Structure 1
Amino acid sequence: MHITTDKTALDIALIHDFLSTTSPWAQGIPLETVQRSIEHSLCFGGFIDGKQIAFARVVTDHATFAYLMDVFVLPDFRGQGHSRHLLEVIQDHPDLQNIRRFILVSSSARGLYEKFGFRSPATPENFMEIHRPDIYR
């Protein structure tokens, strides 16, 4: 799998379709919202033979904080090491070195993320959120 951060290579329709219909976290997300989120994030697209099969984005200030989100590999390509490769490329990206706090929220693939150093918060009582899980419905 070839991975690029070139946003012009991304298949926005495919990303929107996966997020809005398949992902459990962004059901019904509008296309315009996906476009705006990509515009303001460091994005990683995974491609095989010119076809996009994976995606992830990182919301970051490129200095101290990063939030990994919207990570997916299309179902037909899972179990082939593509998620691991995608995470390796993300962690090796020059803009994400020496980040003090790198977070993600995930209800699945915890074992994969743990291999890359992600853990439950050491002080979960310090984290706060406004969570609107049905905002796109």
Structure 2
Amino acid sequence: DRTTFAWLCDVYVPREARGRGLAKALLAAVRARMEEYGVPRVLLVTSSAQELYRSVGYDEVEPGKWMILPLG
């Protein structure tokens, strides 16, 4: 069996630590690891952080909700 996607959930940076690039660093690490494992896509659901995910390459699948990051 081969993995067809990774599910990303519960990414959180405390308010006092925001603005330092921590979320982008976490997402870059997730992307690198999933590419290393050969996972073809990462899926998530968010209504509050779409701009963040768009900024690192995710696309909306369902506006205001589902997003996808195609890999490799």
Q: TM-score when scaled to structure 2?
A: 0.69
Matched, 1:118 2:58: yes
Unaligned stretches of 5+ residues in structure 2: 63-72
Structure number with bigger Rg = 1
- Which whole-Å deviations, capped at 9, do the CAs of 1:13-32 have from their partners, x for residues lacking one? xxxxxxxxxxxxxxxxxxxx
In structure 1, the residue matched to 2:14 is 74
In structure 2, the residue matched to 1:101 is 41
Pairing 1:121-132 to 2, within 5 Å after superposition = 121=61
CA distance in 1, matches of 2:2, 2:16: 33
Pairing 1:1-137 to 2, within 5 Å after superposition = 63-93=3-33, 96-97=34-35, 98-121=38-61
State the shift of 1:101 in Å: 3.1
- Which whole-Å deviations, capped at 9, do the CAs of 1:38-80 have from their partners, x for residues lacking one? xxxxxxxxxxxxxxxxxxxxxxx97321111000011110111
CA distance in 2, matches of 1:62, 1:89: 21
List, as ranges, runs of 4+ consecutive aligned residues in structure 1 with deviation greater than 6 Å: none
CA distance in 2, matches of 1:109, 1:90: 16
State the shift of 1:116 in Å: 2.1
CA distance in 1, matches of 2:41, 2:30: 15
CA distance in 2, matches of 1:62, 1:78: 36
Question: How well do the aligned residues superpose, as a CA RMSD in angstroms?
Answer: 2.0
Identity in percent: 37
Unaligned stretches of 5+ residues in structure 1: 1-60, 125-137
Counterparts in 2 of 1:99 and 1:81: CA distance versus 1, 3 Å? same
More strand by share: 1
AA in 2 matched with 1:86: L
